[in-house]
Structure 1
Amino acid sequence: MSHNRLIGGLLLATVALPAPVMAETFSLWVRADGSNFMPQIVEAFNAQSEHSAELQIVPTAELVQKYAIASAGGSAPDALSLDLIYTPAFGAAGQLRDLTEFAQDLDYFDSLSPAHLSVGTVEDRIYGLPFSADSSVLIWNKDLYREAGLDPDVAPTTWAEIREHAEAIDALGEETYGFYFSGACGGCNIFTFMPMVWASGGELFSSDGSEARFDSPQMREGVEFYRAMVEDGLVPAGSQTDGGINFFAAFANGNIGITPSGAFAIGALNTQYPDLDYGVSYLPGKDGAWSSFAGGDNFVVSAATDDDKMPAIEAFIEFAYSLEGQRLLAAGGALPVRSDIAEEALEGLDPRYILAADAMTNGRTPFSPVFNDLINSANGPWITTLNRAFYGTADEVGETLAQGEAEMQSIIDDAN
């Protein structure tokens, strides 16, 4: 607000300055999976900002329930880094703050991970912003490729090539297998199997999550691709009961030729198995297209967070999106979520991360407010259906997928 003052016969105009922004401290939660990078980002932000974040690391398996209880009881943190698949549920329940205007005002908004934003958006309002990322990729053992007479620098780009390469590697001996996947792990298979179906033109849900599309020609072909490799002994028998404990470990042992995995495997293999020679490529569809699951976290703000905290929270988000923040993220093993500076953020790191980051450009994340019940639950229709189909007979696949789709749709309808 401006006003005029008369001083010494001169009329002077003065302008009232805006009130200074007060330094604020906000509470921030992150699941333990983010403990490799979040403490470093918080420390760097606190060192250079007038504001500060107070970090609490929560065990990964406990965060979602703990946050739900805290939100209901009025003790939620001001902000948290949330597994992106849960954003639709908390956003639809009114437990998250609308960040639409802030997000769309960011100069680099269009370069933020579209998959993260797709599940961070509920009824055209943005409740979750991309924070950390992990893409799904295909990895292969180059030493086994050499032993099998395959070119160690050429990845399979179709299902037929995966099968061909797996057969050649499997022929090396009884203790060597061509392919591996965790057959009883819902999260593992949505992360690595579903992108191969997406790349072949299939879907799992409608875009708004209201319809299950489990039983499709593309899904049937994908299931049959895996099922046939299991039946022909190209996959170890133990995969049938693997709930995820060997999702990474099986390949790391050195006797698996090919496996779908995640970008996280690059850092883990380099650190824990430095002598393992491996390649990283895209997850292919049946005929050569490729896709990826976009995993990681969205940054969300609790609906009850005081307005006074928002300048500090917004400053933290912008720091995390800066080149310094994205480099800290990458150094901690997560992929950048800004495509326009991804290569700069990854500079000096293993070059295989570049492909993994590029996979995010074609990454997808299924939108469902009941994702946990459908996909992550050990007794949910996703993994129980796939397990029956992967390890059953060819003539049972169609009926099994149709039953699984009906179970999925029932859960979706009951939630609406």
Structure 2
Amino acid sequence: MYICYTSTMCILVILVVELRFYMNRGIQMPRQNPFTPMFGGKPQHFFGRSLELNIVKHAIADGNSPYRVIFVTGNRGCGKTALLEQFSITAREAGWTTVDVHSAHASEDIVRRLAGADQRTVERVAAHEAFGLSAGHVGISESNRYDGRALTDVLVAASEKRKRGGVFITVDEAQKIPESDMENICAAVQMTLRKGFPVMLVLAGLCGAKEKISSYKGCTFMQRAYDIRLGSLGVDEARSAFAGMLDLTGFVTCGEEELEYLCACSYGYPYLIQLLGYYLVEAAGVSHPRGHTAVTKGLVDEADLSARVDFRANVIEPSVGDFGPGMTAYLEAIVDGVGEDGRSSTGGAARAIGKSAQQCAPYRARLIERGTIVPAGYGYVRLNIPHLRSYFTEEDTGKLSDDGARIWNY
């Protein structure tokens, strides 16, 4: 008790000294920006996705839940990695062992994590072949080698030893997992579930990742995985995210009209929310170094310009930059044909590039699979990435070469 009290007093003294340092010099205390536009990282504050979180909570609590194997898909910047982290936190708080790995060497890393929990290494020891048949057994050794083929034995063994909870596995960037690695994971999870042990597997990847993995010879099991397809947040979730995060700054206030405008500029897209919020708070701090700052449409527009440059570079260009000339021309025609209702005619796009609808059917299917467009009624589609229309119709002002040309008049 005395130690705890002393530590608390020391922290308070440090805070008071720091406050006096800034006040005596007339310096404004550093302002906190709660928005985290770090791509693929863990945000400071998580927002939205209450439905998806409840699905995982239900699966953890109910051993008969159909949500024990989940596949999360979506475009870049929709919050897949952040959601995976929240899933793991939820499982850990429920007393489950969590194993979070990336696509590279996924099955090997899972073995390492589960075996390492007991300070032991599990390796597959091949037995001698006899009569054309091979057998094997699992041995415990001090070797530093971790063989992904031992995953089934390790996962079952880890599940058997647990008195409460289960094993919760997440794999990010699932579209990059090699076929043999994915087969190891599927076989292990399927066998562990068959034995009646509590285990959950959650994969996350770009649009089309589930279809790709389910086509692997040993992974048809994944066809039955529950789909979570991420996109933009709902209007209420986006509004709540902005209001709550701006309140955390302690100096930025936002009226209802400005809040609605901010939400509209973000399209409810998680990465755009982080970008817009970050640049808005930074701009507010510069315009009013002291005291509170009220959000204006001008500040939002200023933040939006910076956010668009980052979004273009980190989301749009990686999403469409590898398309061939034919598919790019077809997508541009779809963009040009977007009407007031937000839909575009696929037949009109085909005619615009001098092809038949049948000839363009593979382009349409591929764009839908990649999550670039979504069906919107017979013969129509909608764009599925924010600012995609402006990407093809506006000048890219975010490149240094453009700035140099304007400044130096090449």
TM-score range, shorter chain: under 0.3
Structure having the higher Rg: 2
Superposition TM-score, scaled by structure 1 size: 0.22
Superposition TM-score, scaled by structure 2 size: 0.22
More strand by share: 1
